[in-house]
Amino acid sequence: MTFVFLDRDGVINRPPLIKPYVTAPEELELLPRVPEAIRLLNDAGCRVVVVTNQRGISLGLYDEQDLERIHRRMREELARGRARVDAVYYCPHDADSCTCRKPGIGMFLQAQQDFPGLEFHRSIVIGDSVSDLQAAAHLSCRKVLVGAPGNVVDRELATQHIIPDFRCQSLWEAVTTFVLPGLRGLVPGITPH
């Protein structure tokens, strides 16, 4: 089975414009076509797993109960589009204080414990940051970068010799032009469930 790991902020929901973190459910705004993209993954038999750094908890900007309410809202919004995520993992810690915060792989290893059939070499990580792709590279997952080309993320990835397998503007584009064709055998290295 193919597992698709999604970063949250910048991939599933729009990052807030005024402050650095989504701190309440009403601030969560899904990006265009996200429910449709996730529904396509569900329909294709993929497991969809959210892995998100939530440093705002360690900074005291919101707490884990707030985050639970935010994720409940995310699941409700997805359900309206007949889409679902199979699990959500988050790291509440500050930078450089744990092994779960991406680029650490603790959240991914927890997913592997919870889903014994998970094989990282058959999995895909879709993210918008250097840390997302660093984690993917460490685990030998396929790497999909969401965002405009030529930004600071590209430059930092280049200095670390990490090359995305695919880059796109949105989760919808990633799913429809890379993930699903890969499941049909059109993109080398992606294997169906």
pLDDT for position 177 = 95
Q: Per the domain annotation, does 146 fall within a domain?
A: no
Residue 93 pLDDT > 70: yes
Q: Per the domain annotation, does 57 fall within a domain?
A: yes
Query: Cβ contacts of residue 155 below 8 Å, gap of 6+?
Result: none
Residue 192 pLDDT > 70: no
pLDDT digits (tens, 9 = 90+) for 25-56: 999 999 999 999 999 999 999 999 999 999 98
Domain residue limits at 82:
3-120+170-183
Q: Per the domain annotation, does 92 fall within a domain?
A: yes
Can you tell me which residue has the tokens 């927890």? 110
Identify which of 82, 94, 88, 39 has the alpha carbon closest to the alpha carbon of residue 68: 88
Computed from CA positions of residues 56, 25, 27, 172, in that sequence, does the dihedral angle turn out positive or negative? positive
Q: What is the pTM of this model?
A: 0.95
What CATH code is carried by the domain that includes residue 42? 3.40.50.1000
Q: Per the domain annotation, does 27 fall within a domain?
A: yes
Residues labelled catalytic: 7, 9
Q: What percent of the chain has pLDDT over 70?
A: 97
Strands of the sheet with 142-146, listed across from one edge = 87-91, 47-53, 3-6, 124-127, 142-146, 166-168
Longest dimension (CA), the chain: 46
Gyration radius of the chain over CA positions: 16
Q: Per the domain annotation, does 136 fall within a domain?
A: no
Dihedral of the CA atoms 52, 50, 182, 164 (nearest 10)? 0
- Mean pLDDT for the chain overall: 93
pLDDT digits (tens, 9 = 90+) for 101-141: 999 999 999 999 999 999 999 999 999 999 999 999 999 99
Domain count, the chain: 1
pLDDT digits (tens, 9 = 90+) for 65-77: 999 999 999 999 9
